[in-house]
């Protein structure tokens, strides 16, 4: 059976983790109390035989003193109710526990009996418990007030009949899910308090939960009622059914269960992929001639294009696996609908299938060109077939092979291409940043378009596109940096914030400058001044980009952070960040060679192979960047406790007026289900539900 402390940590909303009951800290205090109680029981105790006046004590009185010293409860036969006096920390008299409990906040230490063993540790426990309860209640009121404002905005927009398209539908889904999170937060903390008090009762002689504290928590004026949250959930349901008929099942965001079939298929496909790699290696080893087959180098860029695209899918799948292990819901950060979010095993399966198609085409191409002199089929049709197959899968209009995810990706690409005419969201500038690392793919795409358009793929050896593509590849290299710089200008237009938007635009401007001087240096190779200028500009741009990655994108290098040079909150061991900082710097250097291929001519004879290695290195660096960029975004959301997007009353209100109101600043997690320990949860929830009807007013936060 899962321990409740672990269950609480797994069921909590990551953005609200600091606002849950600190169950671990309370257990530590109870361990100290248990150790003190065990030590007291083991120590020999001799009750005094005489009192302070020297007279012998009665036997019954000696038993009472012994029970007090050992911490055991004592029983006294009385004919009238026994009510022990209660005092607070200052020693003032306080109402007895037999009276009506005072409204919260109250001092739990005032409810402690005057005579109890290990009083100092007991006071520490209840002082900490009181602090945690105050934190929980205050945060619940804050979130209730926030969601009440969101529901009011929803009602206003509905009455005005404002835009209620797919984006508003997604906002309603997120709002409803946020209310479910708040209900879960309410119940989990109540159960956590009951659990920790139950543990306390097993150790202490004072049965706190059954006598005093639990009756207080059952009062809606002490522990807030769930009735307002339930009412808001019903309002969201009613509005959703009014605007989008089809049942409330479409409103609920139900996490898709893990598919073992997908994982199994991915494993089988990876095994087939390894076999294909072995076959290709054997072909090169058995090649009867030491030279490459005819037409191979002309056909190498199309294969390199397919390999790089598929490798990018693999990196994305690995990143998703890291996000899942750290409970980061990347789907909500990217503002994707639940149906568009793919799991890591699904992405890896798609990448493995693409790799099988590409390597199968490559193996047949090598077999035909290496071991036969008469072609039954022109080998050029092989890589063209692989290209057409993957393109057909990407643009397939039918509801197969993750259509919603493909549509989401293509729409995002369209908004990037049309920059700066669309408003910038996190998903658009995030993917645009990734595109800046895929310049080599765009180079090859330029070559592929020429290669197939001119019919060069049907010739054994053709250099038509190798020369013609040089002119167009520089325009292709400019595009990703221009898109990203245009987005920065658009964000400055929307927010009027010079920093960071114009500073970020200058960063991409420096990358464009490096590309421009690369073009000049390759056009005029004898101009020494241009070569020197290119080196200086490349160094300055690399340092600028590297510093922005570490400080702005990853949030590192914070002042006074422990460990040094990092930040206050980390999701990975510190050594991982230090290694990532060094690796990012080293791979940034390869980025310069990636956008400046002419400088690599003197390094290796086979420039195409070198460029493939440089492109793979840059993609690995970008995959590492993605992990820490999304992690930093997630931690920023945790600091603001945001789990839903705000609903603007008017679409014009949604334009950000500061750098802190990006629609990306929200991370969705799976709804924590209270499946374990169902008895305690159901009992606690029944008590809360019965009390929730007594109060329907949301208390303002203190």
Given a contact cutoff of 8 angstroms between Cβ atoms, the answer to whether 344 and 317 are in contact is yes
Q: Name the pLDDT band for 676 (thresholds 50, 70, 90).
A: very low
pLDDT at 312 over 70: yes
- Give pLDDT, residue 467: 64
- Give pLDDT, residue 516: 86
173-186 confidence digits (pLDDT tens): 888 888 999 999 99
pLDDT at 91 over 50: no
Q: Half-sphere exposure of residue 140, counting CA atoms within 13 Å on the CB side?
A: 30
pLDDT at 432 over 90: yes
Question: Which residue carries 């203190």 as its tokens?
Answer: 702
- Give pLDDT, residue 17: 85
* Mean pLDDT value of segment 293-316: 87
304 CB burial (10 A radius; 0-12, 13-18, 19+): buried
Given a contact cutoff of 8 angstroms between Cβ atoms, the answer to whether 458 and 378 are in contact is yes
The total number of residues written for the chain in this structure: 702
Q: Name the pLDDT band for 223 (thresholds 50, 70, 90).
A: confident
pLDDT at 592 over 80: no
pLDDT at 675 over 50: no
- Give pLDDT, residue 463: 67
pLDDT at 655 over 70: no
Given a contact cutoff of 8 angstroms between Cβ atoms, the answer to whether 7 and 676 are in contact is yes
For 128, other C-beta atoms within 10 Å of its C-beta total 17
* Mean pLDDT value of segment 396-423: 92
CA distance 163 to 651: 8
- Give pLDDT, residue 379: 81
- Give pLDDT, residue 490: 95
pLDDT at 430 over 60: yes
Query: DSSP secondary-structure letter at 297?
Result: H
pLDDT at 172 over 50: yes
Q: Where are the domains of the chain?
A: 17-253+677-692, 261-654
pLDDT at 234 over 50: yes
* Mean pLDDT value of segment 282-304: 79
pLDDT at 530 over 80: yes
Q: Name the pLDDT band for 454 (thresholds 50, 70, 90).
A: confident
Q: Name the pLDDT band for 428 (thresholds 50, 70, 90).
A: very high
Tell me what the pLDDT averaged over the chain comes to.
Answer: 76
pLDDT at 691 over 60: no
Given a contact cutoff of 8 angstroms between Cβ atoms, the answer to whether 70 and 41 are in contact is yes
Among 34-43, 115-124, 163-172, where is mean pLDDT lowest? 34-43
Given a contact cutoff of 8 angstroms between Cβ atoms, the answer to whether 462 and 456 are in contact is yes
* Angle at CA of residue 404, ends 399 and 409, nearest 5°: 130
Q: At what angle do helices 574-595 and 439-453 cross, to 10 degrees?
A: 40
16-60 confidence digits (pLDDT tens): 888 899 989 999 988 888 887 666 555 454 445 444 455 554 444
């Amino acid at each position: 059976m899962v321990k409740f402390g672990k269950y609480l940590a797994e069921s909590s909303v990551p953005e609200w983790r600091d606002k849950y009951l600190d169950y671990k800290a309370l257990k530590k205090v109870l361990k100290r109390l248990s150790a003190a109680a065990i030590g007291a029981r083991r120590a020999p105790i001799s009750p005094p035989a005489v009192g302070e006046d020297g007279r012998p004590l009665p036997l019954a009185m000696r038993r009472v003193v012994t029970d007090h010293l050992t911490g055991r409860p004592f029983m006294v036969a009385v004919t009238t109710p026994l009510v022990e006096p209660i005092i607070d920390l200052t020693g003032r008299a306080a109402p007895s526990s037999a009276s009506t409990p005072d409204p919260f906040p109250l001092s739990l230490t005032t409810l402690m009996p005057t005579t109890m063993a290990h009083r100092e540790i007991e006071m520490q426990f209840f002082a900490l418990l009181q602090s945690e309860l105050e934190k929980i209640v205050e945060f619940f009121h804050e979130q209730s007030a926030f969601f009440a404002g969101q529901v009011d905005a929803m009602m206003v927009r509905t009455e005005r009949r404002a835009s209620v398209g797919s984006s508003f539908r997604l906002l309603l889904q997120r709002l409803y899910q946020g209310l479910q999170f708040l209900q879960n937060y309410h119940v989990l903390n109540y159960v956590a308090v009951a659990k920790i008090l139950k543990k306390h009762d097993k150790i202490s002689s004072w049965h706190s939960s059954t006598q005093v504290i639990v009756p207080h928590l059952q009062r809606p004026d002490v522990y807030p009622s769930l009735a307002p949250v339930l009412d808001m959930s019903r309002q969201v349901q009613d509005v959703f059914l009014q605007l989008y008929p089809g049942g409330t099942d479409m409103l609920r965001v139900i996490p898709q269960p893990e598919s073992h079939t997908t994982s199994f298929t991915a494993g089988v496909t990876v095994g087939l992929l390894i076999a294909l790699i072995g076959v290709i290696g054997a072909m090169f080893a058995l090649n009867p001639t030491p030279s490459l087959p005819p037409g191979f180098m002309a056909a190498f860029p199309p294969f390199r294009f397919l390999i790089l695209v598929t490798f990018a899918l693999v990196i994305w799948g690995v990143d998703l696996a890291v996000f899942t292990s750290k409970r980061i819901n990347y789907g909500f950060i990217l503002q994707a609908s639940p149906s568009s979010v793919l799991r890591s095993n699904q992405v890896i399966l798609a990448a493995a299938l693409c790799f099988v198609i590409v390597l199968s085409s490559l193996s047949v191409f090598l077999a035909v060109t290496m071991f036969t002199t008469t072609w039954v089929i022109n080998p050029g049709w092989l890589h063209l077939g692989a290209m057409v197959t993957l393109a057909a899968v990407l643009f397939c209009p039918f509801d197969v092979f993750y259509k919603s995810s493909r549509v989401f990706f293509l729409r995002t690409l369209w908004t990037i291409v049309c920059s700066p005419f669309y408003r910038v969201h996190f998903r658009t500038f995030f993917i645009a940043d990734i595109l800046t690392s895929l310049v080599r793919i765009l180079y090859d795409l330029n070559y592929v378009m020429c290669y197939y358009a001119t019919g060069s793929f049907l010739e054994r050896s053709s250099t038509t596109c190798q020369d013609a593509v040089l002119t167009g590849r520089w325009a292709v290299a400019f595009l990703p940096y221009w898109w990203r710089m245009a987005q920065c200008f658009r964000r400055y237009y929307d927010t009027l914030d010079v920093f960071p938007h114009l500073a970020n635009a200058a960063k991409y401007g420096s990358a464009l400058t490096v590309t421009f001087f690369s073009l000049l240096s390759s056009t005029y190779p004898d101009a020494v001044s241009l070569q020197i200028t290119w080196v200086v500009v490349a160094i300055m741009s690399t340092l600028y980009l590297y510093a922005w990655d570490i400080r702005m994108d990853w949030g590192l290098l914070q002042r006074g952070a422990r460990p040094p040079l990092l930040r206050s909150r980390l999701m990975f061991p510190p050594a991982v960040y230090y290694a990532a900082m060094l690796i990012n710097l080293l791979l940034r250097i390869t980025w310069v060679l990636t956008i400046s291929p002419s400088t690599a001519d003197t390094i290796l004879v086979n420039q195409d192979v070198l460029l493939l290695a440089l492109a793979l290195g840059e993609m690995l660096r970008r995959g590492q960047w993605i992990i820490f960029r999304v992690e930093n975004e997630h931690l920023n959301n945790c600091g603001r406790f945001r789990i839903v997007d705000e609903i603007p009353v008017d679409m014009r209100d949604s334009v950000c007026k500061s750098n802190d109101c990006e629609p990306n600043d929200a991370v969705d997690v799976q709804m924590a289900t209270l499946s374990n320990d169902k008895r305690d949860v159901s009992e606690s929830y029944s008590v809360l539900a019965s009390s929730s009807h007594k109060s329907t007013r949301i208390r303002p936060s203190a």
